[in-house]
C-alpha cells in the first residue's frame, strides 16, 4: 500500500480553509485534487482503497474540501442520441473517445450551432425547484464540522465554455461580440436557473458552507480569449450577481480561470472575488512569481501544479522539485491552496501523483 505520510494537524479542514481565505496562519496549506477516471482507478489501486471510492482517496491524500450539490429530480430534459451521452442540466452532447491511456467523453454535435432565435428560446433549462435540497442538507450534515464545504463548481456560470459546448466556440464568441438579443436572453435564462438553485441550496444549508466556487475560462495559453471591454460589458455583470449572492451569505468566492487570465484579476478583486483557481503556470502571466508579485495578499491562489508538465511527463524528482518551488513561492504570502491546474490526466504516472501529495504534507507546513 502506498501511504501518504501526512503532516501533523492542529486544526480542522474547515478552519484551515477559512483561515487561508483570510491570509491567516494555518498548520499547513489546504489540499485539493481533481482527477480523470483512469488515474483515479490507478490511485485507488495504489492506495488500496475500493475502485472509484473518491471519498477514500480524498482522505488518503488529505483533501480538505467537499462539494455539496443537490441532485436533479425533475423530468428528463433531453433525449439521448444513440451512441452518445447528454449532460441533462446543460444539454451538451458527448461521445466516447479512446486514447492510448484510456478514454473520455468529448463534446460533439453542438445542438445550438447555427440555431435561430426560436431554437434558442425553446431549448430546455432546468427549473431550480426540481432539485433535492433535503438530500444536499443530509450530505452536508454527514461531514459535520470536519471539512470545508463549498457550493457551486468550476462550470458555473462558465458562460463562454458551457455555451461553447452547446454551439461551438466560434458561435458563442460571435454571439457575445454582437450581443445578439436571443443569445443574451438564453444566457440569462441559464444564469437565473443557476442563481435560483444556489440560493435555495444556501438557504437550506445556511451556515454550513465555507466558500462558493465559480468558473469562467477567459484565456488561451498566450492571450485573453475576449477583450477587457467585452468582459466588462457582457460577462462581468453576470459574474457580479453570483459574487453578490455569496456575499449575502458571507462566503468568499473562488473563480476557476483556465489559460492566461490574470488580465482580469484586478476586476475580480474590485468585484469582491477572493480567490482564483487552476493557474496554469506555463500560460502567459500565470507563473507563481508573477501572481504573487501582482496579486499576493489580495487573492487566494489554488493550483499551479501543472497537469501538462512534470506531473505527466517528468520523473518523481522533477515533480518534487516543482512542488517545492511552487510551495516556497506561494506560501510566502499565504492564501495558497495546493492543487493541480486541472483534472490530473490518465497519462500521469501514479507515482508522480503520490509524490506530489507527499510534498504537500512535507513542505506545505507553516512553521
Please tell me the total count of domains within the chain.
1
Task: Say if 94 falls within a structural domain.
Answer: no
> Residue 2: what pLDDT?
63
CATH of the domain at 267: 3.20.20.210
Whether omega before 157 lies within 30 degrees of 0, making that bond cis, reads yes
Question: 58 Cβ partners below 8 Å, 6+ apart?
Answer: 33, 66
Per-residue pLDDT, 173: 97
Low-confidence ranges of the chain (pLDDT < 50): 1
Domain extent, residue 246, equals 13-74+126-363
Evaluate whether residue 195 is within a structural domain: yes
The answer to whether position 119 is within a domain reads no
CB-count exposure of residue 159 (10 Å: 0-12, 13-18, 19+): buried
Q: Is residue 111 part of a domain?
A: no
pLDDT given at position 3: 84
Q: What is the per-residue pLDDT for 1?
A: 47
pLDDT score, position 7: 82
Counting Cβ atoms within 10 Å, is residue 158 exposed (0-12), middle (13-18) or buried (19+)? buried
- Give the DSSP letter of residue 233: I
Structural domain contains residue 84: no
Judge whether 327 lies within some domain: yes
3-state DSSP call for residue 55?
Answer: helix
Q: How far apart are CA 151 and CA 18, in angstroms?
A: 14
Is the distance from CB of 364 to CB of 331 less than 8 angstroms? yes
Residue 108 lies in a domain: no
Question: 116 lies in a domain?
Answer: no
H/E stretch holding 300 reads strand 300-305
Amino acid at each position: 500500500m502506498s501511504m501518504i505520510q501526512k503532516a501533523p494537524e492542529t486544526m480542522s479542514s474547515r478552519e484551515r480553509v477559512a483561515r487561508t481565505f483570510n491570509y491567516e496562519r494555518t498548520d499547513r496549506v489546504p489540499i485539493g485534487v481533481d482527477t480523470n477516471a483512469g488515474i483515479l482507478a490507478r490511485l485507488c489501486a495504489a492506495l488500496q482503497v475500493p475502485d472509484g471510492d473518491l471519498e477514500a482517496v480524498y482522505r488518503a491524500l488529505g483533501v480538505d474540501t467537499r462539494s455539496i450539490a443537490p441532485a436533479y429530480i425533475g423530468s428528463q430534459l433531453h433525449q439521448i442520441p444513440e451512441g452518445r451521452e447528454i449532460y441533462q442540466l446543460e444539454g451538451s452532447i458527448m461521445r466516447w473517445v479512446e486514447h492510448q491511456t484510456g478514454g473520455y467523453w468529448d463534446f460533439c454535435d453542438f445542438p445550438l450551432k447555427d440555431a435561430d432565435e426560436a431554437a434558442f428560446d425553446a431549448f430546455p433549462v432546468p427549473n431550480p425547484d426540481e432539485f433535492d435540497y433535503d438530500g444536499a442538507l443530509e450530505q452536508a450534515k454527514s461531514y459535520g464540522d470536519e471539512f470545508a464545504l463549498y457550493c457551486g463548481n468550476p462550470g458555473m456560470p462558465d458562460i463562454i465554455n458551457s455555451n461553447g459546448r452547446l454551439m461551438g466556440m466560434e458561435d458563442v464568441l460571435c454571439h457575445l461580440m454582437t450581443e445578439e438579443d436571443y443569445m443574451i436572453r438564453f444566457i440569462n435564462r441559464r444564469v437565473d436557473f443557476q442563481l435560483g438553485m444556489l440560493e435555495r441550496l444556501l438557504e437550506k444549508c445556511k451556515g454550513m458552507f465555507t466558500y462558493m466556487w465559480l468558473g469562467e475560462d477567459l484565456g488561451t495559453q498566450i492571450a485573453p480569449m475576449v477583450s477587457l471591454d467585452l468582459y466588462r460589458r457582457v460577462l462581468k455583470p453576470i459574474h457580479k450577481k453570483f459574487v453578490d449572492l455569496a456575499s449575502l451569505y458571507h462566503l468568499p468566492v473562488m473563480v476557476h480561470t483556465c489559460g492566461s487570465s490574470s488580465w482580469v484579476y484586478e476586476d475580480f478583486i474590485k468585484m469582491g472575488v477572493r480567490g482564483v483557481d487552476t493557474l496554469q503556470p506555463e500560460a502567459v502571466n500565470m507563473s507563481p512569481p508573477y501572481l504573487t508579485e501582482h496579486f499576493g495578499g489580495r487573492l487566494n491562489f489554488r493550483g499551479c501544479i501543472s497537469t501538462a508538465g512534470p506531473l505527466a511527463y517528468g520523473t518523481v524528482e522533477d515533480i518534487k522539485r516543482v512542488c517545492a518551488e511552487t510551495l516556497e513561492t506561494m506560501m510566502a504570502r499565504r492564501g495558497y491552496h495546493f492543487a493541480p491546474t486541472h483534472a490530473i490526466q490518465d497519462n500521469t504516472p501514479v507515482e508522480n501523483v503520490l509524490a506530489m501529495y507527499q510534498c504537500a504534507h512535507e513542505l506545505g507546513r507553516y512553521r
